[in-house]
Amino acid sequence: MHDSIPPVFALGLGCLIGLLLHGPIERWLRTLVRTLRTRADPDSGRAARATGLLLIFATLHPAPWLLLVGLPYAGYRLWSDPLRMLWACLLTGALLGPLALIAADRCRSAVRARLLHRSRRSG
């Protein structure tokens, strides 16, 4: 296999791409869930028209469409012969970057909760 880019660099680039896409996709998911919850809750003070417009804008956001177009293309490139190893490293990095970020955030939250519990118990 003769590649012009070492797979380690593709792994790092994939990690960077995953971290860059994590924020917009997370914001889009939160907006969509919030919109659907407000739409399902009849006691909320919002007008149906405003939530309808918000739902339209949430579905027009480019983040999910980048995933819908980008993931099949990346999968196709992953299984094509010449670039298999580079694409595998790129996609692995793109998945591992956000997963590491989420895991670090969960660990930090668990440590904070444990410290808060200890301080309340001792105080």
Q: How many of the other CB atoms lie within 10 Å of CB of 89?
A: 22
Question: For residue 99, which of 29, 33, 21 has the smallest C-alpha distance?
Answer: 21
pLDDT along the chain (123 residues), means of 10: 72 88 81 72 58 72 75 74 74 87 89 87 73
Tell how far CA 122 is from the center of its chain. Answer: 39
Taking CA atoms, 49 is separated from 45, 55, 56, 78, 90, in Å, by 12, 10, 11, 43, 42
**pTM, entire model:** 0.59
Residues with Cβ within 8 Å of 39's Cβ and at least 6 positions away in sequence, in order, are: 48, 51, 52, 55
